Each structure stands twice: as structure tokens, then as C-alpha cells.
Structure 1
Amino acid sequence: MDHSAEFRKWKAQCLSKADLSRKGSVDEDVVELVQLLNGREQFFTTSSCAGRIILLDQGINGSEVQKQNCCWLLVTHKPCVKDDVIVALKKANGDAILKFEPLVLHVQCRQLQDAQILAVRSTHGLEVPLTHKGKLMVTEEYINFLIKIANQKMEENKKRIERFYNCLQHALEKETISMTSFPKEKIREKNNSSYTHKKKRNPEKACGKYITEENNKELENDDHDDPGISVTIFPEDY
């Protein structure tokens, strides 16, 4: 089975589909990053969000925040103001929660070494309950304080997107230079030598991307045919 061809086919299919997000398009602050990834043969993005401030009404019977079961009272990918939040809160019937969510990228990678370039995670978020059963539980002064924090996080998130883009671009350029600096025969010989060495040390734990004659049929009949590795990115320390 040619996994590279399968990955290219899957990438073409995914990128040709309509954008099913609420906005219906890629967020402005992350367009260049998405284009950079999709322009490389070893990656493609499946969804993205540049970062947002949202106000969710969970409902009177909810005990956990689950956005698919919530009413979206307010959502913005830009800094917001107190008046917009106050107006939106008047529509709350249950437990309204103010959240800031940083950049999220879902990226499909051709193989593990490609995914390792993107392995970044963040805790740069905010989540605060404001109402309970429709009753406002905090003062307007506190809401104004929270909005300032959320807006600050939005600005910092934008800076992190720029830093992440620059770091990723540099890493990909460095990888390209490295790959073109050596003959393909030498790279193949090195890869084969490394795999043989690993296989001798632990033949039962050989990398799943290397297909042997024994497991080739098993892969072809696999119902979960996934010619790639999925990674979720939350930029933090870069």
C-alpha cells in the first residue's frame, strides 16, 4: 500500500470540502499559518480557530460545560466591551460562562516525525461562571475586570500566533535544506539502517509506519484506514 499516495488523496478530499464552521471561513489571524501548513505535502489542516471570547448559556439542567449543548450568547475573535457582554447576559436562562479560548489547530500529519515539529500545547485560557439559573452572580465591575483580562489574553494570543508562525516557517525551511543537502540514496540508506537496528533490538515494537509482508494484509483490511497522524496544536512556549 502506498501511504504517501493515500495521504495525498485524503488531503485533497479534505481541503476540497466546504467549511462547516460557524463562521464558514478561516479566521483572519491564522490564514497565513493555515496556508503554510497546507502548502507542505506532509500536512493539512482539518479545523482551526485563531482564538475567541465566548459567552455560553449552559442551560438550567447542565452540570458540565459542553458547547454543543449550549446556547451561544456571544462570540468574537476580537477584543470585546462590557456592554456587549451585559446585553448578552440578559438572554441567559441557566449557567452562563465567559470563556477565552486560544489558538487551536487540528492538523493531519503524514508521519510521526512530521507531527513532532508541531507538538505544542498551551494553558493560555480563561473560564468563569457569571450566572446561575439565569441569576447574575457577580457585579458589573467584576465583569469589566474579566473582560480586560480576556482582551489581554486575546492580544497575547495574537503575538503567540506570530511567533509560532515564524518558528514553524524556520523549522520547515531548515528541514528542506537538510533534505536537499544529501543524496536521496544516502537518506534512504540511513533510514533503512536505523530501522534495521531498531528491529534487531525489539522486533515486536517496530514503528507502525513500516509495513511488513505479514501485516500488509491486515492494514489493507483495516476499517480505520488512516494514512497519517493527527495532532492538535495549542501554541504556548515558543
Structure 2
Amino acid sequence: MAAFQRRKAQRLARADGSRKGALDARAAPVVRLLNARAQFCTTSSCSGRLVLAQGHAAAARGCAVQKKDCAWLLVTHELCDRDHVMTALEKATGDVVLKFEPFVLHVLCRELQDAQLLHSVAIDSGFRNSGITVGRGGKIVMAVRSTHCLEVPLSHNGKLMVSEEYIEFLIHLANQKMEENRRRIDRFYKRLELALKTAVSTNNLPAEEMEKNCSVYVHRRKRKTIREQGVRTSPKDHDEELQPEDDPESNLDIFAEMMI
């Protein structure tokens, strides 16, 4: 616990190392809500953005992604229109890709149960690519991620490879994704706020009641896993398999490998 507080203090004391140098306005409420809690510390975030990224043709043909050779012709965290994109494309001299990147958030968590709470809220809010990683040193990181990305090449060596009509279609699609992204962020914030309040109330329950609630959660989680895998077992088998695990390493595997 002391190690976590030390990591949090060091992290929050750092200068913002992003290109923007500040929090995105739409992500700020979530970041502040989490950092105000003793058990969480955000390490990086982006509210979602539309980017025209230009790379050199030689780098594009390589296997590795070379971010150092990448230039942003356009980046916005808001809805975009055709004129902005076409104006930016006029500057193209290399290979240009249009990207929509949804909301992403990485949170350092004090305990596994804290990461589990965030994971549950993220999944319920539509961020279905979220997951938990546990480092060898006990560092627990919860990543809030979504799958509704967009990445389409537009030009090669400065030459536009698609029609303007197709670009307009892509912009419309990207704006739709941005609007959905905003709805998910709002939903995540509201559900997170409620979940944190509920967690405080639960922590004030007697130890026997907290143990009962934990057992019910584990029982439901394993029953859902069995149902999704299509495993047919007898009622007796269910009773045996659905008991809470006593081995902490087993519980660690359940959440560390949970990537939806």
C-alpha cells in the first residue's frame, strides 16, 4: 500500500508529457474523479481523436511502426468536416492515413479488486476491449479501451488514392464514431461515480456481509463462464466448480487474462 502511494505521488508530480501538454476536456472529469480516490492513479488518457497521420513511404513498407517518422497533418478531438481534411491533405508529401482513435485511459490501481471494479464499469459502458495487467512487481494497471477504431490509407507519396466522395463518406463515419465515443465516456463517468459510491457503502458493511457479497460475485462469474463455453455439467458439478477459489494466484489469472 505504501509502494502504491509512493508511485501515485511520483506520477502526479510529473509534467504532462503528451504532445498537447494538457488533459483533453472531455476526459478530464473521469481523470479527476479517479485521482481524487486513494486507490487509483491515472497514467495516460485521450478523449478520442481524428488524425491525419503522414509517414514516409519507406517506413510504411517496413514491418515496424515508426512513430518518430510520423507527422500529424491534422488532429482534432471534435467533429470534423470535409474542408479541414482536404486542406490538410494538400500538404501531403508521403503516405497519409486517416485514423479515428477512441477514448483510452490507463489507471494504476492499489489492489486487484479496485481494478476489477473499473473493469466491470468499463465493460458495462461499452469499452469492451478493456483489460487488467499485473506486473511482476505487483503493479496493477487497468486499461479502458474500445474496439470502434478506424484506419484508412488515403494517399501514397503525396498522391491522393481515393475520391473526394469517399473521403466525405469516411469523415461522416468518423464523426459517427466520435459521437458514440462521447456517449460512452459520459456513460462511463456516471456509472463509475455510482460504483465508487456503492463501493464505499459496501466497505462499511460487517465482515460477514462483505464475504457473502464476494462469494456471490465469484459464483455468478464462474457460472457465466461455464455457460459461455457451452459446458454441460450436472447440478452437483456446478456446486463443486462454482465455489470461490482459495488460491490467490488462481484469482490473479482470472482477472489478468480478462480481455473482452
Into which bin does the TM-score normalised by the smaller protein fall? 0.7 to 0.9
Distance 1:89 1:172 in 2: 45
Cα distance in 2 for partners of 1:83, 1:66 equals: 28
TM-score, structure 1 as length reference: 0.75
Task: Tell me the distance in 1 between the aligned counterparts of 2:175 and 2:150.
Answer: 11
Match of 2:246 among 194, 198, 202: 198
Q: Does 1:155 align with 2:203?
A: no
The match for 2:196 is: 172
Contact 1:100 1:125 in 2 (8 A): yes
Unaligned runs of 5+ in 2: 123-128, 130-145, 215-244
Alpha-carbon distance, 1:186 to partner: 8.4
Q: Does 1:47 align with 2:95?
A: no
CA drift at 1:68: 3.9
2:85 is aligned with 1:85:
yes
Structure 1 residue 40: Cα displacement = 1.1
User: How much does 1:15 deviate?
Assistant: 0.6
Please, what is the CA RMSD of the aligned residues?
A: 3.0
Give aligned pairs, total.
201
**Cα shift at 1:176:** 0.8
Per the alignment, residue 160 of structure 2 pairs with: 136
Change (3 A) 1:90 1:49: same
1:29 paired residue number: 26
Would the alpha carbon gap of residues 198 and 34 (structure 1) be closer, same or farther in structure 2, given more than 3 Å must change?
A: same
Equivalent-residue separation in structure 2 for 1:71 and 1:107 (angstroms): 28
Aligned to 1:216: none
Tell me if 1:13 matches 2:10.
yes
CA distance in structure 2 between the aligned counterparts of 1:187 and 1:81, rounded to whole angstroms: 52
Q: What secondary structure, in the 3-state scheme, does the structure 1 residue paired with 2:106 have?
A: strand
Check the 8 A contact 2:202/2:210 in 1, yes or no.
Answer: no
User: Counterparts of 1:117 and 1:127 in 2: how far apart (Å)?
Assistant: 31
1:169: how far off? 1.3
Once the two structures are overlaid, the 10-residue window that deviates more, 58-67 or 157-166, is 58-67
Post-superposition shift, 1:31? Answer: 0.9
Distance, in Å, in 2 between the alignment partners of 1:160 and 1:66 is 30
Structure 1 residue 108: deviation in Å? 0.6
TM norm structure 2: 0.69
For residues 40-94 of structure 1, the C-alpha deviation after alignment (integer angstroms, 9 at most, x for no partner) is 1111101100000000011111236544431111100011111111111122222
Distance 1:206 1:86 in 2: 53
- Structure 1 pair 150–171 and aligned structure 2 pair: CA distance change class (3 A): same
In the TM superposition, residue 5 of structure 1 has moved relative to its aligned partner by 1.1
Output the CA distance in 2 between the equivalents of 1:179 and 1:123. Answer: 33
2:52 and 2:44 map into 1 onto residues whose CA distance is: 21
In structure 2, C-alpha distance between the alignment counterparts of 1:110 and 1:68, rounded to whole Å: 34
